[in-house]
Chain A
Amino acid sequence: MNYNWNWGVLFEEQYLSWLISGFGWTISVALSAWCIAIVIGSLVGVGKTVPNKIVRGICATYVEIFRNVPLLVQMFIWYFAVPEMLPEDWGHWMKRDLPNPEFVTAVVALGLYTASRIAEQVRAGIETVPPGLSAAATAHGLSTAQTYRYVLLPISFRIIVPPLTSEFLTVFKNSSLALTIGLLELTAQSQQIAEYTFQGFEAFTAATVIYVCIALVATILMQVLEKYTRIPGYVGKEA
């Protein structure tokens, strides 16, 4: 094999700026999607545990649909199919006037998909809380909403920090699928560098290193969070 190593291309101004821009989009998509996912995932996860059967049914359906349809298919649906299915003016607006449609679509698709996974974690976390605790809260006169707000959620979120860490890492990795709808995030930019320079190995090594660094930082952040929120001596129901 006759491969011309040239790590220098990565530091040429044009390609370096592509990498940086790709990195920026990856972070933006992942973090925005994460925010949507946490909010919707928490609501849907709580919804799966409330007494009301209709609410539970709706939330369970949400989880089944968004968790089981492959993320790539969901990206395509949001990008190509949804604008066609909406009333005409909305569809037009999405195709022509929506600023940055690839970015918005990627965030929505990734956010709603990740929400379904977080919802399952939240539900599992709530179910780990011994039922006697919510009975005690109720017995002291706390409403259902207050019981969730002050007792169930604070305990279950602490329990699910470790599984959430892995979801958090996954959201960065999954953000690479946004390249299929044309968003020039990190993977797409590396591919582009490879095509322009024929230095594919260097380009993808750079992407790999950046993804690994993101994962490291994310893991450290979550560990700090875990340490900071740990309940002294508490291990939950299985204790």
Chain B
Amino acid sequence: MIDIENISKWYGDFQVLTDCTTQVAKGEVVVVCGPSGSGKSTLIKCVNGLEPVQQGRISVDGDDVTAKGANLTALRSRIGMVFQHFELYPHMSVLENLCLAQEKVLKRPRAEAVARAEKLLARVGMADHAAKFPSQLSGGQQQRIAIARSLAMDPIAMLFDEPTSALDPEMIKEVLDVMVELAQEGMTMMVVTHEMGFARKVADRVIFMDNGAIVEDRQTAAFFDNPESERAQDFLSKILDH
């Protein structure tokens, strides 16, 4: 479904990504981890063309993202994305947050968009908050709404960039629960996270990045039981310790 072939990317002289190659199959859940600054966010932003790449090729469901003149807006509307800081539209109610792209991008009629939004809000346990504004809600609630907002577009795959790292500890679980449920329903997911419990529970594979390169790309159990590289061992011991 997501095919990343030999991509390299530079910010000016600085190489952020070095020859990264991986695939995510339909229904597969892949966790991406690695030290801060290793290029995880950049990698998943390249998948929906939020960041251009200078070398290599990415395709999603057969559509080339990196091709010149690719219809990126159409493609992006089919890939959900959830950010570390939620990025809900602060001037819109929760309901409008879920309806905006449905109406303006997918051209869904208002009634249909509202119905879809309400269904998804109920699903993430936020049905009672449709009329509130984002800043009136807790971080965990905002993130669940952000997930629902992406799901409202009926995406074929979901990208998550550290969805729980801006949350207070007691809110992490409510967000992970939603993500676990999604994974179990067969959503194709690429998740940047340091929540190794989540990775063990639902990930099919774990990718470990360091310095802009994919250092390991393994089945979940294999990655945790005997990471090959020293850097991954080191990383795991650090985050599993505390």
Contact = CB atoms under 8 A, between A and B. Distances in A.
Interface of A: 130, 132-133, 135-143, 146, 150-151, 154-155, 158, 231-234
Given A138-B50, A142-B105, A234 B133 contact: yes
Contact of A135 (B74, B83, B88, B150): B83
A232 B88 CA distance: 14
B77 A141 contact: yes
A146 B50 CA distance: 16
B149 interface: yes
B43 to A, nearest CB: 15
Nearest to A135: B50
B136 interface: yes
Contacts of A133: 87, 89-90
Contact of B87 (A132, A150, A154, A234): A132
B101 interface: yes
Contacts, number: 77
Given A135-B87, A136-B87, A232-B133, A142 B50 contact: no
B87 A233 contact: no
Nearest to B102: A140
Contacts of B74: 141
A58 B48 CA distance: 31
B205 to A, nearest CB: 23
A151 B104 CA distance: 12
A155 B133 CA distance: 13
B100 interface: yes
B104 A231 contact: no
B149 A132 contact: no
The 7 closest A-B pairs by CB, nearest first: A141-B77, A233-B135, A136-B87, A140-B101, A141-B105, A139-B81, A234-B90
B81 A136 contact: yes
Nearest to A231: B91
Given A132-B83, A150-B104, A154-B91, A140 B150 contact: yes
B206 to A, nearest CB: 24
Contacts of B45: 135
B18 to A, nearest CB: 23
B32 interface: no
Nearest to A136: B87
Contact of A232 (B73, B77, B136, B153): B136
